Amino acid sequence: MRILVTNDDGINAPGIVMLERAAQRLGAEVVVVAPEQQHSAQSHAITIGKPMFARELPLTHGESRRIAIEGTPCDCVRLALIKLLDFKPDLCLSGINHGGNLGWNIFFSGTVSAAAEAHSFGVPSIAFSLARWSPGIQWEGIDVVAANLIRRLLAAKHSRPDWLYNVNLPDLAPDKIQGVRLTRQNPVVKGDNFEERRSPDGRRYFWPVWDEVTAARHRKDQADFDTTAIEEGFISLTPMRYEVTHTDEPGVLSAMEGFHAT
Amino acid sequence: MRILVTNDDGINAPGIVMLERAAQRLGAEVVVVAPEQQHSAQSHAITIGKPMFARELPLTHGESRRIAIEGTPCDCVRLALIKLLDFKPDLCLSGINHGGNLGWNIFFSGTVSAAAEAHSFGVPSIAFSLARWSPGIQWEGIDVVAANLIRRLLAAKHSRPDWLYNVNLPDLAPDKIQGVRLTRQNPVVKGDNFEERRSPDGRRYFWPVWDEVTAARHRKDQADFDTTAIEEGFISLTPMRYEVTHTDEPGVLSAMEGFHAT
């Protein structure tokens, strides 16, 4: 088994080493292709109109290759699958992100987008995030948790190779984790705000901040939400498909009959 | 009616003026909040960990406000809806993008992401793109086409205010447009490739390119695809919902029974 490992926190982030170790626990050959630098909240962004450097780095944890890209998480996946690798990986792992990727926020996530991009090339993929936003993550044992989860998914999905999951791990020591919940994306997670300030010469600028008051006002909880699983100490496992066509649109087709453009 | 207009080609792009004019043809008050600079292929990226400047610009086309943000398309929508506007717009229009946003490529699109972001705040939204990739767009009359389409959508959707559309216009003079097709996202649009080069000091770099040979190999056509509508001279109208949870996952839940994290 050959596994492509990437992330959005950059190739030197501690979380990606945990995924490498998880892959190696499964006996897999590991190829790392990840951004040179931190690319959080870069979503599905790709580089266009300018070139990207790709650097082969020294191997550090028993990888077969370790390549740093001067680009976004999706650039890494695309460059790896289209150009850099001479094989199609059996699996793509993205993460482990420092911070949860839950609810609407998954659309901002480079970690989740990289997994979705690999899936679009027919590679089964899993995004991993650890739902702790403050500094100082205790990574010890997280590789074992991830390996155990991947092993179960591989066993369950053996007959259907085309899958994509968003996994969030609760901010708990591994032995305190309550189990795994099959979840769906919480559609409403809105706590974003901006703090307005003035530069010394009087220009307005805005710092993005997370606002707990706004978040509490919008908050909706349901037992099967990804956010709820994390709050209750479970691993959140969300099966995903990046198909955003909405079919339930009565009346629209008839409204377009006899449309005149001019 | 008050309409928020944004885009990803930047506040000085010709396409955004077309949307302003379309909105004004509907009798709407227009507020423009758009990126200072070109942000194509920036997807749902947002600025975190650093501040953004917001500059009020001189009004040029009868807008009530015109604000340039030093950020991404999604930053513009978020800053407008959370902080800059003292009202909730009746509609958000994003575009008109120079280049189509079709198939898998909609996930890279800042134009579509900005509309999706506004929709996540409960604002009905439409992304507009013109499916011509080469330079030299003839914009004449495109504002009329957009206004006619928006007018029909407003009439059809009056009773259900929560909607999100991805509109692509064919590369045709308005009087040659064949009509409107209700479409779905083509799941396979893969023509991406990279051209490998060497810097003078021997380092590898890669230019992103579009490869027609790869595209033709992957190509799938169905009558209701967004790509097919454009090829046949129709306006492609794709209703969207950004809900990516996949519910059809037999066997996964049982595979997680008795999961041990450690």
Contact indicator for A96, A18 with CB cutoff of 8 Å: yes
Angstrom distance (rounded) from CA B182 to CA B157: 14
Mind telling me how many Å the CA of B235 is from chain A's nearest CA? Answer: 9
User: Which chain B residues are closer than 8 Å to A156 by Cβ?
Assistant: 251-252, 254-255
Q: Supply the pLDDT for residue B209.
A: 92
Per-residue confidence band for B195, with pLDDT thresholds at 50, 70 and 90: very high
Please report the pLDDT score of residue B241 as a whole number.
93
A69 and A191, same domain (yes or no): no
The reported pLDDT for the residue numbered A159 is 66
In a domain, A180, yes or no: yes
Q: Give residue B251's pLDDT.
A: 78
Asked if the model's pLDDT at residue B162 lies above 80, the reply is yes
Counting as low any pLDDT under 50, the low residues of chain A are none
Interface predicted TM-score (ipTM) of this complex, two decimals:
0.93
Q: What is the DSSP letter of B107?
A: G
Q: Judge contact between A149 and B255, C-beta under 8 A.
A: no
Residues A157 and A123 in one domain: yes
Rounded mean pLDDT of B33-57? 92
Say whether pLDDT at B157 is over 80. no
Residues 226-245 in A contacting B (C-alpha not used; CB under 8 Å) = 235, 237-245
Q: Has residue B262 been placed in a domain?
A: no
How many Å lie between the alpha carbon of B228 and the closest alpha carbon of chain A? Answer: 15
- Sign of the CA dihedral running B7, B9, B10, B16: negative
The answer as to whether B44 is a domain residue is: yes
Nearest CA in chain B to A53: B205
DSSP B173-230: -GGG---EEE-B--S----EEEEEEE-TTS-EEEEEEE-HHHHHHH----TTBHHHHH
| Test the A interface: residue of B48, B207, B254 with most A CBs within 10 Å | B48
Q: Is the pLDDT of residue B159 over 70?
A: no
- The two beta strands, B29-35 and B65-69, are parallel
Is A16 among the domain residues? yes
CATH for A139: 3.40.1210.10
> Looking at residue A5, what is its pLDDT?
98
Shared domain for A164 and A192, answered yes or no, is: no
Is B238 in Cβ contact with A190 (below 8 Å)? no
The chain-wide mean pLDDT, for chain B, equals 93
State the residue range of the domain holding A228. 2-185+223-239
Are B201 and B133 found together in one domain? no
Which stretches of chain A are DSSP H helices? 14-25, 73-79, 110-120, 142-156, 212-218, 226-231, 252-255
CA distance B102 to A48: 17
Q: How many domains does chain B have?
A: 2
CA distance B213 to B217: 6
The predicted model gives B112-132 an average pLDDT of 96
Same-domain pairing of B194 and B138: no
Do residues B31 and B106 both lie within one domain? yes
